Amino acid sequence: MLAGFVLPVTMAANALYAQEEKPAGHGDSPANEYVFSATTLGQIEVEIPGLKPDDPVITQEEFNQAATIYFERCAGCHGVLRKGATGKPLTTDITRSNGYDYLKDFITYGSPAGMPNWGTSGELSEDQVDLMARYLLIEPPAPPEFGMADMRASWDLVVPPEDRPTKQMNDLKLDNLFSVTLRDAGQVALIDGATYEIVRVFDTGYAVHISRISASGRYLFVIGRDGKVNMIDLWMEEPSTVAEIKVGSEARSIETSKFEGFEDTYAIAGSYWPPQYVIMDGATLEPLKIVSTRGMIYDEQEYHPEPRVASIVASHFRPEFIVNVKETGKIQLVDYSDIRNLKVTEIEAERFLHDGGFDSTKRYFLVAANARNKVAVIDTKEGKLAGLVETGGLTPHPGRGANIDHPVYGPVWATSHLGDETISLIGTDPEGHPDNAWKVVQHLYGLGGGSLFIKTHPTSNHIYVDTPLNPDAEISASVAVFNVSDLTQEEPEYTVLPIGEWAGIAEGQPRVVQGEFNEEGNEIWFSVWNSKDRESAIVVVDDKTLEMKKVIKDERLITPTGKFNVYNTRADVY
Ligand code: DHE
């Protein structure tokens, strides 16, 4: 295997890792399960960069296999270019000084700092561990860029605006439709919120991620992990894709302009690779302007070659998109009123920005810097940082968060956490409750770690907290519900909804994920997310009684995860 292989093997493996047992908590925590996987980059053929004389022997085929494993399993922490992110850098100056044996042991046994034990867990075979140790000694390949020529080549204006209807041609109640991610099918299902019937299923990008709705409520935008955007016209007799484009090799976010006078004018999509965002025409998806996010980390002022674009939201107070750049910790306010003379306000926030949502007035945007256990608050009216809040829990993950009127502290926004059972309530009313603004006013404690999404609705008196990534099957299939009136108590109790059990699924271990209210706010839908080859479901809960109201099952409902109610999504109601 290692013939002709001359290596600077300098370090013996640390005895700590030379244990056969999997150390508890190393690589199996919910936070470790929830690491970005560059699945589409893994499909790209990459060339071996010029080999150095003492590089290990590797064939092109092996190199491609190793690059696929690296992009899918390692890039999330160590970066596509191996320059480090939440994990350590793996540049060749470091890997070559550590040497082959050290790398092999490290990959096999993991580390107490959070590196999974890929070998002893059986995730990688001995041959694959050997391959990865050799791969890391060679210069990393750079995946291709994706600029205007690539985007335009991928752009397909299926139905030009002049050929589209001038009024709604179907009887659907658009504002109460749900766009449901069918993750592993690469599809979304459009479900009628009143009848629970599937209206249509659309083919979309690979491992489709989120949906967003244009300000008017007419257009639905969907983005796949492979950067493919579908734009669906809900006015057509049979809602259909009217335009599509690929914006990069790895992407997660899409949004459309919402400021008065610019409704439906622009769309924007952010990519993980290449690190950039693109502003597109809101009626056709024609790409208009690409902006790179490569640049300096906000505090160290050191260059980062691959700062991924995480969540993007549209301001209601200015003609701006709020673009959250993960690795540099910067929030960009991108003024779209004149995109040829683009003005971008760059706000220093915190590293590892991920997901977030508005407060109830929609003036403040709160976004989790998840690996820093903080929430950054942007005043979208003034265009500046309003606060940086230590949440007191591990790895905040709010989705879009939950806004409630707290019986003691007034308006608060809440996030749950991936790393533990904490739910943090943050004061959001600097005028009415100045002492509480941008501070954690209360902690609640839910079912356990592994929470991804928290949800409520202005008409609801409940806060729903999921725990899909909890290692306990029963907890990952349940939801905790807090009553807002109980928040006067020191440690409010919660009701457990056994959503997984209600779904009545015989096989597999489905996880219950992401509550989403209907337009009226009297029911909340949860996905019961099973593996691709097994039955999944959506369970609808009555918000007043907390009883099961409906189980939606259909053979087309393959791996449902995110659900986006048209009204709540376009109006930022949560
Ligand atoms: Fe997501 C939102 C990134 C894994 C379901 N996810 C987001 C956003 C980002 C993101 C940046 C915010 C988009 C916005 O608001 O513009 N997600 C990532 C990842 O990098 C990560 C950790 C790993 C990966 O390789 O993709 C990841 N996400 C997942 C899942 O495994 C989930 C649970 C199931 C799935 O469908 O893949 C998942 N992510 C979601 C959902 C939202 C989301 C449902 C939108 C929530 C909302 O209410 O707005």
User: pLDDT tens for residues 64-88?
Assistant: 999 999 998 999 889 999 998 888 9
Q: Which residue has the higher pLDDT, 54 or 281?
A: 281
Question: 462 is written with which tokens?
Answer: 């409940």
The dihedral formed by the CA atoms of 321, 324, 330 and 336, expressed in degrees to the nearest 10: -10
Whole-number Å distance, alpha carbon 8 to ligand 1 midpoint, is 41
Is 315 in a helix, a strand, or coil? coil
Rounded distance between C-alpha atoms, residue 38 and residue 42, angstroms: 6
Rounded distance between C-alpha atoms, residue 276 and residue 314, angstroms: 17
Contact 272, 252 (CB under 8 A): yes
pLDDT score at 86: 83
To the nearest whole percent, how much of the chain has pLDDT over 70?
Answer: 94
What is the per-residue pLDDT across 107-164, written as a single tens digit (0 to 9) for each?
A: 999 988 778 899 998 999 999 999 999 999 999 998 999 999 999 999 999 999 999 9
Handedness of CA 178, 181, 182, 185 (dihedral sign): positive
201 lines ligand 1 (CB under 6 A): no
Rounded distance between C-alpha atoms, residue 112 and residue 15, angstroms: 12
Is 213 in a helix, a strand, or coil? strand
Question: 425 is written with which tokens?
Answer: 């309530």
118 lines ligand 1 (CB under 6 A): no
Q: How far is CA 568 from CA 176, 354, 517, in A?
A: 9, 20, 8
393 lines ligand 1 (CB under 6 A): no
- Least confident residue range of 13-17, 262-266, 537-541, 567-571: 13-17
Instruction: Indicate the pLDDT class of residue 19, thresholds 50, 70 and 90.
Output: very low
Contact 481, 493 (CB under 8 A): no
**Which one-letter amino acid corresponds to residue 15?**
A
Query: At what angle are helices 126-135 and 100-109 packed, to 10 degrees?
Result: 130
Instruction: Indicate the pLDDT class of residue 276, thresholds 50, 70 and 90.
Output: very high
- Least confident residue range of 62-76, 369-383, 496-510: 62-76
Query: At 81, phi and psi to the nearest 5?
Result: -95, 10
Q: Tell me whether residue 209 is one of the annotated catalytic residues.
A: no
Farthest-apart Cα atoms in the chain, separation: 72
569 lines ligand 1 (CB under 6 A): no
Rounded distance between C-alpha atoms, residue 223 and residue 230, angstroms: 7
Tell me the whole-structure pTM to 2 decimals. Answer: 0.92
Q: 348 has which bridge partners?
A: 330
Residue 400's Cβ-side half-sphere holds a number of Cα atoms within 13 Å equal to: 29
Q: Per the residue annotation, which of 26, 209, 304, 354 is the catalytic one? A: 354
Q: Which of 72, 180, 209 to mutate to test the pocket of ligand 1 (most atoms within 8 A of CB)?
A: 209
Q: Which residue has the higher pLDDT, 557 or 41?
A: 557
Contact 51, 138 (CB under 8 A): yes
Atom of ligand 1 nearest to the CA of 39: 25
Q: 366 has which bridge partners?
A: 357, 377
Average pLDDT over residues 214-230: 97
What is the gyration radius of the CA atoms in the chain, in angstroms? 24
Task: Answer whether residue 21 shows pLDDT above 50.
Answer: no
Task: Answer whether residue 2 shows pLDDT above 50.
Answer: no
Whole-number Å distance, alpha carbon 9 to ligand 1 midpoint, is 40
Contact 547, 525 (CB under 8 A): no
